[in-house]
Amino acid sequence: MRGTAAECASGALTFSDYGVFVFEPQQPSDKDVVISCAVHGDETAPIEIVRDMLHGILNGDIQPCQRTLFLLANPAAIRIGKRFVDENMNRLFSGAHANGQTPEHQRAAAMEHAVSDFFAAAPAGERKRYHYDLHTAIRDSQYEKFAVYPFTHSGPYKKEQLTFLAECGVETILLNQAPTTTFSYYSARTHNADAFTVELGKVRPFGENDRSKFAAAEQMFTRLVSDAELQLPKFDANRTKVFDVCRTINRTVEDFTLHFPDDVANFTEFKHGELLATDGDKEYLVEQTSERIIFPNAKVALGQRALLTVVEIPVEQLKLV
């Protein structure tokens, strides 16, 4: 029942809407944490992580001292075991949900409201905001775990966050260099949160995830909400690989083809001059040495991104604080 609250060892867990759980500690620290999953309903490992964290809070094994919002973003897609019902929800944030009336459009708006209400209800004073949107990728990856760092609008990249992600086992970072309609960009831009899209591996059915591969991430998210001050090692640039977006290739016509096999892994490197895709009569060739592909999907809706190409850059090239 909506609005139901459960008293826990260190606070109260409220079920405010389908898939929306707010934990309010008895003595909140200075952080407001959002952990979301199931923006794509078939990405089951993050759902299992969030489920077990909620169970841990209810049975007292996890005792958060941070205000925490847990979101299962697309329950309808979870029920049918599909990526989405009608439309890719991770293209519908930052107001893009206003352009349609599908269940995903409506749910994306509801998720934005949940995040806004959560941050607005925080105690007065200077607070730190975080949002980790957990995913698994459609295909294998040469770097199994990676995170997308939303566009910072010339702002700095944070050593603390790169270190936290490395402790989660996420040592590969992809930089977004433009505004997007993803959930993590919404929280970063609208609420000035440290926010990331975190890819933890490959999509698998419930019960087929090797949870040991996610143990470090699960432990760090638990520590994030449970430790008043999260102790992290000193930043080490050698722990992190950084990739910058070279090109975004969109599907604009029905006759769109990717010219490599479906099982080619994310971050696979291609040679200069190789044909990557055709969009009708337009050809996309590899333009830079060491150009790699990521998130290829020839079946996206017209106008949506079908492929990114990326190149590795030195961590020292970033503006770090």
The first and second tokens of residue 26, run together, are: 């008895």
Q: Which residues pair with 292 in a beta bridge?
A: 269, 310
Is residue 199 flagged as an active site residue?
yes
Q: Which residues pair with 167 in a beta bridge?
A: none
Length of the chain equals: 321
CA–CA dist 52, 47 (Å, integer) = 9
Q: CB of 259 within 8 A of CB of 282?
A: no
CA–CA dist 111, 117 (Å, integer) = 10
Q: CB of 202 within 8 A of CB of 139?
A: yes
Q: Is 81 exposed, middle or buried (0-12, 13-18, 19+ CB in 10 A)?
A: exposed
Among candidate residues 167, 171, 199, 291, the one labeled active-site is 199
123 CB neighbour count, 10 Å cutoff:
9
H or E stretch covering 103:
helix 103-120
Q: Which of 169, 145, 135, 140 is nearest to 266 (CA)?
A: 140
List residues with catalytic annotation.
199
